[in-house]
Amino acid sequence: MTQLPVRVAVLVSGGGTNLQSLLDALHDSPLARVARVISNRPDAGALDRARRAGVPATVLRDPADAAELLDALADADLVVLAGYLKLVPPAVVSRFRGRMINIHPALLPDFGGPGMYGHRVHAAVLASGATESGVTVHYVDEEFDRGEIIAQERVVVHSGDTPDSLAARVLEAEHRLLPRVVLDLARRIR
């Protein structure tokens, strides 16, 4: 039986707008709260967001070190990868199987995998001529972007879209979908 609120650990590498959507959505939630933020980059803008929200933040010396990451995750009940660009060590994946999720800015299983992040994803979607893109939240396993899909939201691709304009529209969908999935999972694992 997990105590309420569910303790959410968020792994980040970049600016942290998805982290911010979680901080805002869980701010006074009885169900879940952002308990800690962990980054592989000391200069990640997301760390400033964590500090402003008074959430403990950790910078990993070696993201491939399972013991260090497990230590940083401590008593987390649910782990969210929000713009985290490193592969999670297998020992950590197995410890948090079914309780670790990732958000990806495309409709997996397409446009995912090693090296497929940020601008490259949207450029690949546009190059493919796809008429829609979107966002996927999935469970994390030992490979990039391959785990079981939990939820997706579709976004229309406009004829004049650039990777930046598409990325901006997808990011809006990300900020809607991620808090919703986290609250749903918190209800289920409590």
Residues with a known catalytic role? 104
Secondary element (H or E) of residue 151: strand 149-156
DSSP assignments along 110-147, one per residue: TT-STT--THHHHHHHHHHT-SEEEEEEEE--SSTT-S
Q: Is 79 in the site for ligand GRF (CB under 6 A)?
A: no
Taking CB under 6 A as the criterion, the residue among 5, 63, 83, 179 binding ligand GRF is 83
Structure tokens at 16: 């942290």
Q: Is 139 in the site for ligand GRF (CB under 6 A)?
A: no
Q: Is 15 in the site for ligand GRF (CB under 6 A)?
A: yes
When the beta carbons of 71 and 164 are compared against ligand GRF, the nearer one is: 164
When the beta carbons of 119 and 187 are compared against ligand GRF, the nearer one is: 119
Q: Is 147 in the site for ligand GRF (CB under 6 A)?
A: no
Structure tokens at 82: 């929000």
Q: Is 17 in the site for ligand GRF (CB under 6 A)?
A: yes
Q: Is 134 in the site for ligand GRF (CB under 6 A)?
A: no
Asked whether the CA dihedral 96, 99, 104, 110 is positive or negative, the reply is positive
Q: Is 5 in the site for ligand GRF (CB under 6 A)?
A: no
Q: Is 163 in the site for ligand GRF (CB under 6 A)?
A: no
Which residue type occupies 19?
Answer: L
Segment near ligand GRF (CB under 6 A); pick from 27-35, 49-57, 70-78, 99-107: 99-107
Give CA 98 to chain center in angstroms.
14
Q: Tell the smallest beta-carbon distance from residue 48 to ligand GRF (Å).
A: 12
CB atoms within 10 A of CB 4: 14
Buried b (16+ CB within 10 A) or exposed e, 134-153: bbbbbbbbeebbbbeebebb
Taking CB under 6 A as the criterion, the residue among 33, 111, 147, 174 binding ligand GRF is 174
Applying CB under 6 A, which residues contact ligand GRF? Answer: 14-19, 46, 82-83, 103-105, 117-118, 171, 174
